[in-house]
Every structure is written in structure tokens, then in C-alpha cells.
Amino acid sequence: MKTYLVLACFLTVALTAHAADNRRVVQKGRAFRPAEVTIMRGEALTFTNDDSFIHQIYVDGQFDSEEKGPDENINQTFLRAGTFQVRCHIHPTMKMTVHVR
């Protein structure tokens, strides 16, 4: 019985950590990593600036964030279903795709 309880707790922690990783996007080397994610409507992504210069994020007609420096985060909730291209005004070649179900 204790073995099953320990295993259930381990799986819960592992699945929670995996879900959290899927909601984190790193901005590094003038790129988004990962470059494509799928989330559910109403979920948020956390964009972490892991570069030595500023970044920001936007989706045309949806949102346009403030600039964030190194080690700062942007939390963005996606309220509508669809496929969206996230970009950075500062670095126009940066782009990623977010699929919202």
C-alpha cells in the first residue's frame, strides 16, 4: 500500500513539473525556446529573458508587453483559441507559434 502511495505522489509531482515546463518559454540568443507550444484556452505562458539584453513579446491585435531586462519574466494568458505567432518588437526575427485549444 505504501509503495502505491509513494508511486502516486511521484507521478503527480512529475506530471505537474512537466506541465509547468510546457508553460515556460525562454528568450535566449534572439530566439524563443521552444519555438512552438500547445496550451489550453485560459492558460498562461511565462516568458523568461535569459539574454543579456532586453526583450518583449506581442501578438498582433492581442497584446503588446513592456520591455523586460535579463532574468525578468512576462506572464501572458491566452484567452482565445487559435494559432498565434508571438514576436519581439526589439528583435523582429524572433518568433514562435502558440496553439491554443
Taking only the tens place, the pLDDT of each residue in 30-78 is 999 999 999 999 999 999 999 999 999 999 999 999 999 999 999 999 9
Strand partners, 31: 28
CATH of 2-100, one of 3.30.465.10, 2.40.50.140, 3.50.50.60, 2.60.40.420: 2.60.40.420
55: alpha, beta or left? (left if phi > 0; alpha if psi -120 to 50): beta
pTM above 0.75, yes or no: yes
Distance CA 92, CA 84 (A): 16
The mean predicted confidence, pLDDT, of the chain is: 85
59: alpha, beta or left? (left if phi > 0; alpha if psi -120 to 50): beta
What's the DSSP call for residue 31?
Answer: E
